[in-house]
Amino acid sequence: MKISIQINEGPYQHQASDTAYQFAKAAIAKGHEIFRVFFYHDGVDNASRFTIPPQDDRNVVNNWASLDIKNAEGEPELVVCVAAALRRGMLDEGEAGKNGIDGNNIHPAFRISGLGQLIEAGIQSDRLVVFGD
């Protein structure tokens, strides 16, 4: 089955991202395809390459990166909503340049794109599963 995931909450504050990760990992292990994971609301914070959790804790961002979810063109399918990301200070190199900001913090396993990617995921996938409050 082709599955897409929407994550609405940030890491560590809320378990939604952890649960979604466990779900994605289990689905892949069962032979399903994760078409896209879309990070929305505070969920965009899951894409920060600057998180430093204590050594004895799980690393939520690296967990996502380890799933290596990509499309046929080799682009990451861990997609961060651009509007939600910008208002929360989550920037990739391109957005930082466009907005004159001297830094960027999106992990390379993720990419920034528009909300249309969420709708497209809903259209293309057999299931869209939403994680959050």
Partner 1 sequence: MSTKKFMYLNRRAPYGSVYALESLEVVLIAAAFDQDVSLSFIDDGVYQLVEGQNPEGIGMKNFSKTFHALGDYDINQFYVSAESLEERGLSLDDLMPLVWEDEDDDWAEKPSIKVVSNVELTKILSEQDVCLSF
Residue of 7, 79, 80, 81 marked catalytic: 81
Sign of dihedral through CA atoms 99, 102, 108, 110?
negative
122 binds partner 1 (CB under 8 A): yes
Report DSSP letters for 14-78, one per residue.
-SHHHHHHHHHHHHHHTT-EEEEEEE-GGGGGGGBTT----TTS--HHHHHHHT--B-TTS-B-E
Question: Active-site residue 81, yes or no?
Answer: yes
Residues 20-79 that bind partner 1 (CB under 8 A): 40-41
Which span sits near partner 1 by CB under 8 A: 12-20, 29-37, 101-109, 121-129? Answer: 121-129
| Footprint of partner 1 on 82-101 (CB under 8 A) | 83-84
Fill in the amino acid letter for 113.
S
Which residues carry out catalysis? 81
Can you give the binding site for partner 1, defined by CB under 8 A? 6, 8, 40-41, 83-84, 114-116, 118-120, 122-123, 128, 130, 132
